[in-house]
Structure 1
């Protein structure tokens, strides 16, 4: 699958409008689709890179299609994600407030635009909207988007703040991009980093929560959580797609970001609660800030590089 198809999966279902920055092509049934080649048309080598690089794994899309109707079951397969809001929502809020220092009593993120990549059913999107941010949630699984729209539609507090269907990127550069429990499901993190850099304003923030690539994460996230305790459905994670904080920081900083903080996270399967940890051996949260337009540099230097591969055994 090409990078242009990845971006069509990510942006196409939500009715992207044509703009001077983003190319839009017509797909089946007249659906508007986002053209990665057009996004990088100011860097000619990007077209060559986008022809062979992939981001979304079709197998991951199928897996989440089967789970789409379970997003808002707080005791079901996504219980741990609901509980994670206790950490990830204040992590995003507090870091954004250190940058923007806005004063909106009750709505601390008012005036900020946030892109929630891989939003699923909106479990993270909605609380960000309730903090006053204008949030666009995107996801390659259309069934999940339908669930997200249905769940948020009755809430008047979200009606004008949360969207899952439209964005014009030349009018909607974002103050922040959040990608929570997403990068461990992607096939090409470099293309993902380029896309995040492209849609962020200068000085914009990127927030990621993900799983480290260690023996301990393999034992806990896959063997125990999936196979023994069944906290998440079997097959949800692929250890080879996990990435260490060091690797992720290196990748982001080579694509125009400066990593500001990395914080370990720990899940207690007995209490169902998350807590911050001094160790990043299993889960961690990362905050990075866009320092430069990394898209051109990344495309220029990566066009002849093979996709990053990882060893097949835990280390």
Structure 2
């Protein structure tokens, strides 16, 4: 199995910077930034003329159909995973493919984080990093990241899944001080974090992981916005999901669900799948820069995953939150320093 090769997304897709990126950055840099105020403004914009104008003049997007509820939670998805909450750690059961995916996604996260964070901790390479695992389920990827030394918070709206995750991690003393779980949504966590101190409030995570999650969400706009809200400037966002192609329908639904029964029937809705191009546009409009996209392929015979050049079915994406602009006092100080330097030169 080859190691994932970083692929420049600029060679794959054309980029388009959005003014929303500047708004997110400028708001995040102000001490008076209010999550509640931003949510109200965003809701009014979506309900008012801004939303109507976008619908009239913009190219139709599959994301817009999932952006009316302003919550990431789909009640049907919650009920579906509620019935599976006790099966997360059955490596031969409904989540066998997710267990096998750890062979790819854990190194993908680790290696990309180590390329950004140069500090080395032998045996615990991710020590000192705080990671948020969104839609953690039973903790299938939360635990491996904790064993690599990271401080990981796993969140999921299904309380029984969180109960399963807590119970399983309790048997490993090495994880007691490294991972924690909370039954909540991403937007609820974002609202809670606003009330904390400056050090422990908004923008406190070094990385966010959303693995096999976005294809189950009700509102991707809210998801991307909240990710930007709780992620530190320069922090990483890791997503694995399913492309929206004819192949993904054939293999992800017909073969996987109906023929081979790799996953329970009804697990996926093809209308919720999203292409790398569309996901990149969404993330860039919320202050992210996509660094790499890698194709993934599952072999139902061997039960193993491998990297592939094609993103037609599954893919992994790594994005980085654009760093904030310099603070006003820093800019003023730099300007003052430049003026003094110029005066010295003339004298």
Residue 300 (structure 2) pairs with residue 274 (structure 1): no
* C-alpha contact (below 8 Å) 2:139/2:154 kept by paired residues: yes
Name the structure 2 match of 1:46: 42
Return the offset for 1:226: 0.2
> When the two structures are superposed, what TM-score results if normalisation uses the length of structure 1?
0.78
Name the structure 2 match of 1:177: 208
Name the structure 2 match of 1:142: 159
Tell me which protein shows more helix as a share of its residues: 2
> Aligned match of 1:105 in 111, 122, 125?
122
Name the structure 2 match of 1:296: none
Pairs aligned (count): 259
Return the offset for 1:42: 4.8
Q: Which has the higher contact order (CA 8 A, sep 6+)?
A: 2
> Aligned match of 2:88 in 71, 81, 86?
71
> Aligned match of 2:315 in 268, 284, 308?
284
Return the offset for 1:40: 3.6
Return the offset for 1:153: 0.8
* C-alpha contact (below 8 Å) 1:40/1:46 kept by paired residues: no
Query: Structure 1 segments of 4 or more deviating over 6 A?
Result: none
> When the two structures are superposed, what TM-score results if normalisation uses the length of structure 2?
0.71
* C-alpha contact (below 8 Å) 2:127/2:148 kept by paired residues: yes
Gaps of 5+ in 2: 1-27, 29-33, 48-67, 184-188, 325-347
CA gap 1:231/1:128 in 2 versus in 1, 3 angstroms: same
Query: Per-residue CA shift, 1:20-46, capped at 9, x if unaligned?
Result: x9xxxxxxxxxxxxxxxx624256513
> Aligned match of 1:123 in 132, 140, 162?
140
Name the structure 2 match of 1:32: none
Query: Per-residue CA shift, 1:182-213, capped at 9, x if unaligned?
Result: 00001111110000000000100000000000
* C-alpha contact (below 8 Å) 1:122/1:148 kept by paired residues: yes
Return the offset for 1:47: 4.5
1-structure distance, mates of 2:305, 2:135: 21
* C-alpha contact (below 8 Å) 1:256/1:290 kept by paired residues: yes
Gaps of 5+ in 1: 1-20, 22-37, 294-315
Query: Per-residue CA shift, 1:143-178, capped at 9, x if unaligned?
Result: 000000000012111000010039763416100000
CA gap 1:42/1:182 in 2 versus in 1, 3 angstroms: closer
Name the structure 2 match of 1:305: none
Return the offset for 1:292: 5.1
Name the structure 1 match of 2:278: 247
User: Which structure has the larger Rg over C-alpha atoms?
Assistant: 2
